[in-house]
Amino acid sequence: MAEVLVLVELNPAAGGPRKTTLEALTAARALGEPSAVVIGAPGTAAGVKDALAEYGAAKVYVAESPEVEEYLVAPKAEVLAQLVAEKSPAAVVIPSSPEGKEIAGRLAIKTGSGFLTDVTEIAPDGTATQVAFAGATIVHSQVTVGTPIYTLRGNSVTPEPAPAAGAEETVQVQISEAAKATRVTDRVVEQKSSRPELTEASIVVSGGRGVASAENFSVIEGLADSLGAAVGASRAAVDSGFYPHSFQVGQTGKTVSPQLYIAVGISGAIQHRAGMQTSKIIVAVNKDPEAPIFELADFGVVGDLNTVVPAATQQISARRG
Amino acid sequence: MNIVVLVKQVPDSGSERKLDPADNTVARATADNVINEMDEYAIEEALTVKEAQGGEVTVLTVGPATATDAIRKALSMGADKAVHVLDDAIHGSCAVQTSAVIAAALGQLEYDLVLCGAEATDAQLSVMPALLAERLGLPQLSGARKLTVENGMAKIERQTDGGYWEIEAPLPAIVSTWDTINEPRYPSFKGIMAAKKKPVQTLTLADLGIDRATVGLATATSKVVDFAGRPPKGEGVKVPDEGDGAEKLVGFLAAQKIV
């Protein structure tokens, strides 16, 4: 069976692979037998290899080096290019984070290949599905040159276990001087949150201009916490200073595709729809019955968010005991 | 400090955008075309650096004849001159091919810094800095929410989930900027008038020494096989809150087995 390389995205906070990695392993199985590629500091693979094997990694390539995390993007692309040259895989699948897309791009140049970003599905013949223009257009694309490289959008594929051997193979890491051009000198976490990460969450509750103030975002957070959801914000809310930019959902922010998206006080401008239109179930609360968000919503409540949302939060908390 | 800003003209993300069924490429001819919003932040950042340190800001764009509108916008904000790579053979090029064209054009310019927006709102790949860095052997400083240029080094705060990374590299380097980095200026009347007289150099593939057969749809590294509009969602339910809005909402979530 053809070998498919899957780059492992790590979750430094929780210690294991990110859910996006398990999704990528699942998607890669349409193309062949996944081999996970762990690139990180020494000792990294030990904490993730069991999960990788459980989700279908026949092999785990361990590329560990103290230097690899000191530089941006380029070293990881070099390791993958080396593996592509040695193993001639049928394809490479990478989780679609900003870094993942940049690795894909550099790998494409290095290997003389084409690449497709933010794919939501990969068919056995290599055809990928992409969502274009704020979710309005569904596109099927193919790589026509070299080793196809895909970045898989988070939450597009449900991770399914498929236990495999997970046989470890050590990869010698040699970082070129050119790949050391950009140094990472610090990694700063500004918002520590017990809530799930926005792009990974199965439920997202977002607030918009209608929330009216930064303080009042506690209404959104309350509903989110009752559901174990992530919190998002529209651009209008972010531009108004109600909530930090890293939580912005939309064209110039994050794209999310959760099981349930609850839009509160969000009118539903194209800019916002671009980031959430592919959510499975959409619920809206807005006082304006003409708000375009209702065109997308499976269920909408026309009313004042300040009465509807706290009451709903209370009822959900009561149900969950 | 000489700075090149990469600018792309895109269909307005606030208008209806389409692919052209004739060849499955972005329908640019019929679109409401504007400068890529994210590029305005890169232009602003370039002007800020230039105002503090001197030098020249050059706008570089690859695109059809209509892209001159995007160039004029950049010049009216205050950029000094522009280079427009204009060649029909480029139509339908993938990002890999486009990066080869931009890299060749950069090869004819003198720069300490290349700036661009962190993504174009049409294709949303966010990879051009990485592709160019790879091709040109330049450091990549992408996704900036803050830029500092001093002592021959560029430092940025790279925006991440819930924080940022501090990264740095020696010049010349490629930096891409998010919309958190600054507030782009509006072109003044004086700026708009001055822009009309600023030099715009047009280059063809031949000028760049690029074989026409290596770009364009026929040799693109990826292709769109087919496309379709998203199937319309089934009619949703919309209820007024008559004191029971929360109850109805929770009832819906319960019916979906969410609570």
| A167 and A270 housed in the same domain | no
* B240 falls within a domain: no
Strands B81-85 and B57-62 turn out to be parallel
A283 and B127: CB-CB below 8 Å? no
CB crowding B28-50: b at 16 or more within 10 Å, else e? beebebbbbbbbbbbbbbbbbbb
A198 found inside a domain: no
Contact B17 A136 (CB under 8 A): yes
- Rama region for B9: left / alpha / beta (φ>0; ψ in -120 to 50; rest): beta
Residues 119-178 of B with CB under 8 A from A: 119, 121-127, 129-131, 133-135, 137-143, 145, 158-170, 173, 178
Same domain for A76 and A18: yes
B187 interface with A at CB cutoff 8 Å: no
CA distance B75 to chain A (A): 24
A20 Cα distance to chain centroid: 6
Q: How confident is the model at residue A187 (pLDDT cuts 50, 70, 90)?
A: very high
Cα separation, A279 vs A277, in Å, equals 6
Q: Could you tell me if residue B253 is inside a domain?
A: no
Q: Tell whether A159 and A248 lie within a shared domain.
A: no
Residue A171 sits in the same domain as residue A217:
no
Predicted ipTM?
Answer: 0.95
Q: How confident is the model over A190-210, as pLDDT tens digits?
A: 877 789 989 889 999 999 999
Q: Is residue B129 part of a domain?
A: yes
Same-domain status, A19 and A126: yes
Q: Which of A143, A300, A315 sits opposite B236 (nearest CB)?
A: A300
Of A246, A260, A311, the CB nearest to B162: A246
Whether A139 sits inside 8 A of B133 (CB atoms) is: no
**Would you say residue B194 lies in a domain?**
yes
Strand pairing category for A3-7 and A33-40: parallel
Distances in whole angstroms, Cα of residue A11 to Cα of each of A44, A97, A175, B123, B167: 11, 12, 23, 28, 20
| B230:A104 CB<8 A | no
Grade residue A260 by pLDDT with cuts at 50, 70 and 90: very high
Cα separation, B216 vs A111, in Å, equals: 20
**Containing domain of residue B134, as a range?**
3-219
Task: Tell me whether residue B259 is in a domain.
Answer: no
Assess whether A170 and A214 both reside in one domain: no
Helix (H) or strand (E) holding B75: helix B68-77
Alpha helices in chain A, H assignment, sequence order: 19-28, 49-54, 74-87, 98-111, 217-227, 235-239, 270-276, 293-296, 305-320
If you average pLDDT over every residue of chain A, what do you get? 95
pLDDT interval class at A251 (50, 70, 90):
confident
Which residue in this structure is represented by tokens 């026509």?
A144
Residues of A in contact with B232 (CB under 8 A): none
Is the CB of B228 less than 8 angstroms away from the CB of A137? yes
Q: Which of A121, A147, A180 is the last residue of a domain?
A: A180
Give the CATH number, domain containing residue A28: 3.40.50.620
User: Are A209 and A174 within one domain?
Assistant: no
Residue type, B63: G
Query: Which residues between 28 and 57 in chain B have a beta carbon less than 8 angstroms from any beta carbon of chain A?
Result: 37-38
Q: What's the domain count of chain A?
A: 2
Q: Which chain B positions have a beta carbon within 8 Å of A297's beta carbon?
A: 236, 238
Does residue A191 belong to any structural domain of this protein? no
Residue A103 lies in a domain: yes
Same domain, A163 and A270: no
User: Is A67 contained in some domain?
Assistant: yes
- CB spacing of A298 vs B228 below 8 angstroms: no
Query: How many independent structural domains does chain B possess?
Result: 1
Q: Which range of residues forms the domain containing residue A280?
A: 203-320
Q: Which residues of B touch A115 (CB under 8 A)?
A: 95-96, 221-222
What φ, ψ does residue A37 adopt, rounded to 5°?
Answer: -120, 115
pLDDT of residue A167: 97
What share of chain A has pLDDT > 90, as a percent? Answer: 88
Task: For residue B237, tell me if it sits in a domain.
Answer: no
> How does pLDDT run across A128-184, given as a tens digit for each residue?
999 998 888 999 999 999 999 999 999 999 999 999 999 999 999 999 999 999 999
Contact at CB, A109 and B131, closer than 8 angstroms: yes
The C-alpha atoms of residue A261 and residue B12 are separated, in whole angstroms, by 26
For residue A192, tell me if it sits in a domain. no
Listed residue (A12, A80, A21) closest to A41, CA to CA: A12
Residue B179 lies in a domain: yes
Residue from the list A186, A190, A260 with its beta carbon closest to the beta carbon of B258: A260
Give which of B96, B116, B156, B177 to mutate to test A binding, by max A Cβ within 10 Å. Answer: B96
Selection from B145, B104, B141, B117 nearest residue B10 by Cα: B117
| Residues A153 and A31 occupy one common structural domain | yes
**195-224 of B, contacting A, C-beta below 8 A:** 219-224
Query: Which domain-ending residue is among A145, A180, A215?
Result: A180
Domain-located, residue B21: yes
Task: Tell me: do A69 and A210 sit in the same domain.
Answer: no
pLDDT, residue B233, reads 75
Say which DSSP state A268 is in: -
User: Which secondary-structure segment (H or E) carries B53?
Assistant: helix B37-53
Tokens of A241: 């200073």
Tokens 């000191």 belong to A70
Q: Give CA–CA dist B229/A135, Å, rounded.
A: 9
The residue to which tokens 């109600």 are assigned: A242
Q: CATH no. for residue A210?
A: 3.40.50.1220
Interface contact A312-B38, CB threshold 8 A:
no
pLDDT in tens, chain B (259 residues): 999 999 999 999 888 899 999 999 999 989 999 999 999 999 999 999 999 999 999 999 999 999 999 999 999 999 999 999 999 999 999 999 999 999 999 999 999 999 999 999 999 999 999 999 999 999 999 999 999 999 999 999 999 887 899 999 999 999 999 999 999 999 999 999 999 999 999 999 999 999 999 999 999 999 999 999 988 777 899 999 999 999 999 999 999 998 8
Query: CB within 8 A of B223, min separation 6: which ones?
Result: A141, A142, A144, B24, B94, B217
Q: How many cross-chain Cβ pairs, A to B, lie less than 8 Å apart?
A: 268
Nearest to B229 among A137, A188, A282 (CB): A137
Whether A174 and A219 map to the same domain: the answer is no
Instruction: Give, as one character, the DSSP assignment of residue A245.
Output: G
Beta pairing, strands B200-203 & B81-85:
parallel
Q: What residues of chain A lie within 8 A of the CB of B180, using their CB? A: 245
Q: Is the same domain home to A211 and A283?
A: yes
Q: What whole-number distance in Å separates Cα of residue A297 and Cα of residue B194?
A: 48
**B229 exposed, middle or buried (CB, 10 Å; 0-12, 13-18, 19+)?**
exposed
In a domain, residue A50? The reply is yes
Among the partner residues B122, B160, B241, nearest to A301 by beta-carbon distance: B241
